[in-house]
């Protein structure tokens, strides 16, 4: 499992809950007794269409939430693109605690779009790097 211990990785296991507009992923302990371990919550949105200066684009965002314990979140990435559309998805990266948003063009009405996210952080005291993936969330737009 590379350099990560099972306990560290288990602190970032994501469980996703999809709501009308936002999907929230919580890093929660697994059933092997990891209760009380550090965890973080992130909010990934499904793809949506926006009008930016007269141009329709597809967008998705990833926002950090609350963390418990000794986690230092150090980066997250959000991507959006056509599902099986042959075009490379667009991604945006942030190395600090802030909302990140990405835009994809060209917009094709009726196509299926997909958003994904990835959040990484260091868990003290060993400062082991641990990452979690969020999504994918798909929308026909």
**The pLDDT value given to residue 36:** 61
What tokens does 95 get? Answer: 């190395």
Per-range mean pLDDT, top range of 33-42, 65-74, 98-107, 122-131: 98-107
How far does CA 60 lie from the centroid of its chain? 10
Least confident of 13-27, 38-52, 126-140: 13-27
d(CA 44, CA 22): 6
Under 8 Å between Cβ of 110 and 85: no
Q: Is residue 1 part of a domain?
A: no
Whether the per-residue pLDDT at 29 is higher than 70: the answer is no
Q: Is residue 94 part of a domain?
A: yes
**The pLDDT value given to residue 127:** 81
Average pLDDT, the chain: 76
Range of the domain at 109: 6-140
Whether the per-residue pLDDT at 121 is higher than 70: the answer is yes
Q: What pTM does this model have?
A: 0.71
Q: Is residue 114 part of a domain?
A: yes
Average pLDDT, integer, range 51-64: 94
**The pLDDT value given to residue 81:** 96
Domain count, the chain: 1
Whether the per-residue pLDDT at 7 is higher than 60: the answer is no
More confident residue, 28 or 19: 28
* C-alpha count within 13 angstroms, C-beta hemisphere, residue 119: 32
Q: pLDDT per residue over 68-105, tens digit each? A: 888 888 888 999 999 987 789 999 998 777 789 999 99
Q: What CATH number is associated with residue 28?
A: 2.60.40
Query: Is the peptide bond prior to 136 cis by the omega test (within 30 degrees of 0)?
Result: yes
Q: Is residue 66 part of a domain?
A: yes
Instruction: Supply φ then ψ for residue 47, to 5 degrees.
Output: -60, 140
More confident residue, 100 or 3: 100
What tokens does 63 get? Answer: 């926002």
DSSP string spanning 58-83? EEEEEEEEEEESSEEEEEEEEEEEET
Q: H-type helices in the chain, by residue range?
A: 6-10
Tell me the sheet residues that pair with 46. none
């Amino acid at each position: 499992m590379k350099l990560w211990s099972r306990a560290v990785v288990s602190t970032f296991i994501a469980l996703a809950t999809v709501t009308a507009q936002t999907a929230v992923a919580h890093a929660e302990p697994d059933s092997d007794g990891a209760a009380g371990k550090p965890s973080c919550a992130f909010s990934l949105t499904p793809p949506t269409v926006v009008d930016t200066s007269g141009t329709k684009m597809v967008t998705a965002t990833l926002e950090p939430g609350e963390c418990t314990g000794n986690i230092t979140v150090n980066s997250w990435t959000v991507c959006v693109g056509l599902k099986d559309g042959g075009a490379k998805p667009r991604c945006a990266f942030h190395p600090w605690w802030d909302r990140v948003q990405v835009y994809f063009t060209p917009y094709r009405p009726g196509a299926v779009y997909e958003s994904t996210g990835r959040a990484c952080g260091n868990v003290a005291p060993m400062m082991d790097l641990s990452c979690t993936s969020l999504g994918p969330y798909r929308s026909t737009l």
